Amino acid sequence: MARKFLYVIAGVTVLLLALLLALRLWSEDLTEMAFVPGVSFAGQQALPPESWENPAMWVARPGLKDDPSSWLPPGVTAPEKKLPVAVFFVHPTSYVARDAWNGSLDDAISRQRTALFVKGMASPFNEAEALWAARYRQAAIGAFLTARPEAAQALDLAYGDVLAAFEIFTRHLPEGRPIALAGHSQGAFLLRRLLRDRIAGTPLAKRLVGAWVIGWPVSMDHDLPKMGVPACERADQAGCVVSWLSVADPADTEMLVKAYARRTGLDGKSVAGSAFLCTNPLTGTPGTSSDAGANLGTLVPDFATSGGTLAAQVVPAACGPDHFLHIGPPPKLDLGPYVLPGNNYHLYDVTLFWANLRADFERRVAAWQKTQARK
């Protein structure tokens, strides 16, 4: 019996080693098989902006009951007076199935994930008087893992929804109210286009406190010039763009770089080989490094309660020559099982620096207010 047990253990060990070897050798192929939809693209009718007048079309908005963006971790208190700014937040991909190229607005699993993402990633901005986060027919996660034409069609459909929701957001803005834009992953990808199409060269550009385009590369040559606002060069600068992608060391970024190279920039040209923006969230400036002492608080998730707590001074950050934000060795924090292959901390881009992002938002709002006071 003991010998048979040892044979079973040995067999399982060999199987696991073989699986790990396969993931290392064919990770891209296996990932595509697991996530890229195996169906044809199903064209869907564009929804008019008026669809987003319905509160049910929003995950977060003023007056919404059980708004997940209003959550705060223990020890953080809501301000007595909200900041006079309106935030438009575009949530990341929560639809990971492969049975369609775009998630349904009624998909129960993705709706649950979306609420959690908004809770953890939009909450750093909830000092604003108004925070809006729309539901949209998001592209499946597999759309970022292939160059098939269906992927572009799926992303265009998602963008159409975000554009329509933004129209309603702007209709509800008080006259002259400053705005902030924020998004992660697919949300950041779509936000780039929104900046080009609705901010650049318009009166809204002068009302922009900042754009936090996190978790998708912003090409310095092919995106930024079309977005109409510059990269943030100072921590106290308003009306600029912040962006980063987090990895731990040793990092394997090959799959990330390939995903980036599959898409074209806002100028319609290939971004392959193009440098992208890396803002250090601990300093608020690009291309810099900082030790963990500057980290005001990493949001450590509590999956049992769908909450979390802040752990300060644990995670450092440095913009590397590869343009990724390196956080050193994997942090000794119980962040859960969602670190992606290659020490890719994509899902934690925001939460690793939750408290610093909150402080960055406050600082750039104050900077914008100072510029108005001088006029």
The residues spanned by each domain of the chain are 33-373
| Residue located via tokens 């991909």 | 93
pTM: 0.91
DSSP 220-238: TTTTHHHHSSPBP-STT--
Reading the block at residue 124, the tokens are: 């750093």
Q: What is the pLDDT of residue 238?
A: 98
| Residue located via tokens 């047990």 | 5
Q: What is the pLDDT of residue 28?
A: 56
Q: What is the pLDDT of residue 355?
A: 98
Antiparallel, parallel or unpaired: β 298-302 and 307-311: antiparallel
pLDDT per residue, tens digit, the chain (375 aa), is 444 333 333 333 343 344 334 444 445 555 666 789 989 998 899 999 999 999 999 999 999 999 999 999 999 999 999 999 999 999 999 998 989 999 999 999 999 999 999 999 999 999 999 999 999 999 999 999 899 999 999 999 999 999 999 999 999 999 999 999 999 999 999 999 999 999 999 999 999 999 999 999 999 999 999 999 999 999 999 999 999 999 999 999 998 999 999 999 999 999 999 999 999 999 999 999 999 999 999 999 998 888 999 999 999 999 999 999 999 999 999 999 999 989 999 999 999 999 999 999 999 999 999 988 776
